[in-house]
């Protein structure tokens, strides 16, 4: 199937908001700006650190910077870094705006489309208007998306689902593939490589948003039932319609991963894709206890994220931490300190069965195979995803 | 390109051609993400002016693509109505040319930033150079 698809363009499924010529040009500009900042402007931050901020810190502290907090203190007075930060923040805000313009214009059509005669796949949608939005989502709008995952602007709203689907493509500069599915594909590749005989009967994707990471599980495990949960209704309405337009069977429901209504031992595989950093210290532990309850013996919970700071050189960890204070990701920094075995031990799992691993990006591997050119947009993912989790004792 | 994209675009083009304004029933999405926006400069007006400048740069890029579309349609000798311009879908080659144009454009717009970056690279290079020179000095026959 992938052979027929333009790998340089987001796949235009029936729910994807159309962009007019001008809207498309504006979105392309945002993508170019992000690329320019990452490849042409950001490298100067390292020179500013080495040449100016670090020596200044050493003169006043009488020691080299040892933690990312030291680096942040040193860089706080660095004009080049502050200017890059301002540009980077603007690129994020411009990204949302560039997508909102087209979503706003065609929102009634998108809502109609989500309710029209889409292919019947057997997939279901269950919403819970009573569900309370967790405070770690209502406190600030995560990654500066106005309204976050949960806000609704009209009846049967799909606006932020549509906005998120298109913006994720721009944010990743296309490097997550035409279906934005790279994190799911990569997590699956890790599971298949490390548990080749694993045959899950039911799979749960926690914090699935528009289902871009969920859908690959339908193809990878065709005998399994696939479920996706999220706290945001606009995400789930969009996800359900999107899954149907793409002919995939997924059961979506509006639930908080900390406490779901599924029976004990219902799932063999529980996954999440960049969910963890959007929760909280307390919530991730509740989520892991809930995963423990939901898993059948021998089942797996796998979270995909960006690398923990301990695995990175100090300066790189500092740069990765930018989102914590500049992109409305308050748990980003602390979540990058989590250790799989510690969390497993705290949440009733056997820490000896915990794991942490790096898995190369599935899309980049596929693209390299096809074109024999290893394209380096090189922002964020760094060509691999970090997976961590634990197996429940058999 | 995939399913029905061109058809969809054509319908859209006609729509864009006839209805430029938003209707009264337009549902407005939120413009500001909840959460305190960091202030990057001492005077908050500078934060605003930078945001406006970058938005304007974006609009120049939009106009560039529009002119580029018109030129390409004219080169083919076809009609260049507003609907034709709106319906034009750039192929991979055109998109790559526009990507390259935007990188040059951004390097021009952000000239002052790149000047500083060059200066910083020189400074960082000198630090590295002087250390290498020191190592060279103490390990060579000369010292």
Nearest CB to A29: which of B13, B37, B58? B58
Measured between beta carbons, the chain B residues lying within 8 angstroms of A32 are 61, 99, 102-103, 106
Residue A65, both tokens: 């910077």
Residue A137, both tokens: 């989502």
Residue A4 confidence class, pLDDT cut points 50, 70, 90? low
Distance CA A232, CA A229 (A): 9
Which H/E stretch holds residue B32?
none
User: What is the C-alpha R_g of chain A?
Assistant: 21
Measured between beta carbons, the chain A residues lying within 8 angstroms of B67 are none
A83 part of contact set with chain B, CB < 8 Å: yes
Q: Which residues lie below 8 Å from residue A78, measured CB to CB, with a gap of 6+?
A: A45, A48, A49, A52, A53
Which H/E stretch holds residue B124?
helix B111-139
Please tell me the distance in Å from B141's CA to the nearest CA on chain A. 30
Instruction: Please judge whether A47 and B31 are an interchain contact, meaning their C-beta atoms are less than 8 angstroms apart.
Output: no
Contacts of the segment B111-120: beta carbons below 8 A, 24+ positions apart: B113/A41, B113/A44, B113/A80, B113/A83, B113/A84, B113/A87, B114/A40, B114/A41, B116/A44, B116/A79, B116/A80, B117/A40, B117/A41, B117/A43, B117/A44, B117/A47, B117/A80, B120/A44, B120/A47, B120/A48, B120/A51, B120/A52, B120/A80
**CB within 8 Å of chain B, chain A residues 106-125:** 107-108
Instruction: Please judge whether A8 and B92 are an interchain contact, meaning their C-beta atoms are less than 8 angstroms apart.
Output: yes
A216 part of contact set with chain B, CB < 8 Å: no
**A39-90 tens-digit pLDDT:** 999 999 999 999 999 999 999 999 999 999 999 999 999 999 999 999 999 9
pLDDT number for residue B3 = 35
Q: Report ipTM (2 d.p.).
A: 0.91
Contact (Cβ atoms closer than 8 angstroms) between residue A18 and residue B87: no
**A121-150 tens-digit pLDDT:** 899 999 999 999 999 999 999 999 999 999
DSSP state of A11: -
pLDDT number for residue B138 = 81
Measured between beta carbons, the chain B residues lying within 8 angstroms of A50 are 124, 127
Full DSSP string of A56-103: HHHHHHSS---SHHHHHHHHTT-HHHHHHHHHHHHHHHHHHHHHHHHH
From residue B137, how far is each of A204, B129, B131, B142 by CA, in Å?
A: 63, 12, 10, 7
Contact (Cβ atoms closer than 8 angstroms) between residue A164 and residue A17: no
Residue of A nearest to B90 (CA): A21
Please tell me the distance in Å from A320's CA to the nearest CA on chain B. 17
**B45-79 tens-digit pLDDT:** 999 999 999 999 999 999 999 999 999 999 999 88
Q: Which residues lie below 8 Å from residue A5, measured CB to CB, with a gap of 6+?
A: A11, A178, B2
Nearest CB to B27: which of A86, A144, A153? A153
Specify the higher pLDDT residue, A343 or B10: A343
At A227 the three-state DSSP class reads: strand
A265 part of contact set with chain B, CB < 8 Å: no
Tally Cβ neighbours within 10 Å of residue A356. Answer: 15
Contact (Cβ atoms closer than 8 angstroms) between residue A150 and residue A137: yes
Residue B143 confidence class, pLDDT cut points 50, 70, 90? low
pLDDT number for residue B142 = 63
Measured between beta carbons, the chain B residues lying within 8 angstroms of A147 are 29-30, 33
Which H/E stretch holds residue A205?
strand A202-206
Summarize chain B as % helix, strand, coil (round to 5): 70, 0, 30
Contact (Cβ atoms closer than 8 angstroms) between residue A322 and residue A88: yes
Alpha-helix residue ranges (DSSP H) falling in chain A: 21-36, 43-48, 54-61, 68-75, 79-115, 135-138, 159-171, 182-194, 216-220, 233-245, 281-294, 314-320, 322-326, 332-335, 340-346, 362-371
pLDDT number for residue A220 = 98
**B82-127 tens-digit pLDDT:** 999 999 999 999 999 999 999 999 999 999 999 999 999 999 988 7
Nearest CB to B33: which of A35, A94, A141? A141
Instruction: Please judge whether B38 and A89 are an interchain contact, meaning their C-beta atoms are less than 8 angstroms apart.
Output: yes
Residue B18 has pLDDT above 50, yes or no: no
Nearest CB to B124: which of A41, A51, A144? A51
Nearest CB to A25: which of B2, B57, B65? B65
**A285-320 tens-digit pLDDT:** 999 999 999 999 999 999 999 999 999 999 999 999
């Amino acid at each position: 199937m992938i052979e027929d698809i333009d790998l340089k363009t987001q796949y235009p499924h029936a729910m994807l908001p159309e962009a007019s010529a001008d809207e498309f040009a504006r979105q392309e500009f945002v993508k170019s700006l992000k690329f320019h900042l990452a490849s042409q402007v950001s490298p100067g931050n390292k020179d500013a650190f080495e040449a100016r901020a670090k020596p200044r810190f050493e003169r006043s502290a009488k020691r080299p910077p040892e933690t990312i907090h030291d680096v942040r203190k040193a860089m706080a007075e660095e004009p080049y870094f502050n200017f890059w930060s301002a540009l980077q923040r603007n690129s994020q805000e411009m990204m949302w705006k560039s997508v909102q313009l087209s979503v706003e214009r065609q929102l009634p059509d998108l809502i109609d489309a989500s309710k029209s005669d889409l292919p019947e796949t057997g997939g279901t949608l269950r919403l819970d208007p009573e569900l309370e939005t967790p405070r770690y989502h209502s406190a600030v709008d995560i990654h500066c998306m106005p309204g976050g995952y949960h806000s609704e602007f009209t009846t049967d709203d799909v606006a932020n689902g549509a906005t998120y689907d298109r913006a994720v493509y721009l944010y990743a500069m296309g490097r997550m593939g035409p279906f934005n599915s790279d994190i799911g594909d990569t997590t699956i590749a890790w599971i298949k490589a490390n548990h080749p005989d694993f045959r899950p009967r039911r799979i749960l994707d926690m914090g699935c948003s528009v289902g871009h990471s969920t859908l690959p599980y339908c193809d990878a495990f065709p005998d399994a039932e696939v479920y996706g949960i999220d706290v945001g209704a606009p995400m789930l309405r969009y996800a359900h319609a999107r899954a149907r337009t793409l002919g995939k069977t997924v059961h979506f429901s509006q639930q908080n991963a900390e406490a779901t209504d599924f029976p004990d031992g219902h799932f063999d595989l529980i996954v999440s894709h960049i969910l963890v950093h959007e929760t909280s210290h307390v919530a991730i532990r509740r989520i892991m206890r809930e995963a423990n309850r939901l898993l059948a013996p021998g089942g797996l919970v796998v979270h995909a994220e960006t690398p923990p700071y301990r695995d990175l050189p100090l300066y790189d960890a500092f740069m990765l931490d930018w989102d914590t204070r500049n992109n409305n990701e308050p748990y980003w920094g602390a979540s990058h300190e989590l250790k799989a075995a510690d969390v497993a031990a705290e949440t009733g799992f056997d820490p000896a069965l915990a794991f942490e691993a790096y898995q190369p990006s599935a899309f980049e591997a596929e693209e390299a195979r096809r074109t024999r050119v290893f394209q380096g947009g090189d922002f964020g993912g760094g060509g691999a995803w970090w997976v961590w989790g634990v197996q429940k004792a058999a | 390109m995939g399913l029905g994209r061109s058809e969809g675009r054509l319908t859209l083009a006609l729509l864009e051609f006839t209805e430029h304004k938003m209707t009264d029933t337009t549902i407005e999405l939120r413009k500001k993400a909840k959460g305190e926006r960091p202030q990057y400069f001492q005077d908050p007006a500078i934060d605003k002016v930078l945001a406006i400048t970058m938005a304007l740069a974006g609009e120049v890029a939009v106009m560039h693509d529009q002119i580029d579309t018109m030129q390409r349609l004219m080169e083919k000798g076809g009609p260049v109505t507003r609907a034709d311009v709106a319906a034009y879908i750039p192929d991979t080659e055109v998109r790559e040319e526009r990507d390259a144009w935007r990188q040059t454009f951004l390097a021009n717009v952000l000239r002052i930033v790149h000047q500083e970056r060059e200066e910083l690279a020189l400074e960082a290079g000198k630090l590295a150079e002087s250390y290498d020179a020191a190592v060279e000095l103490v390990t060579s026959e000369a010292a």
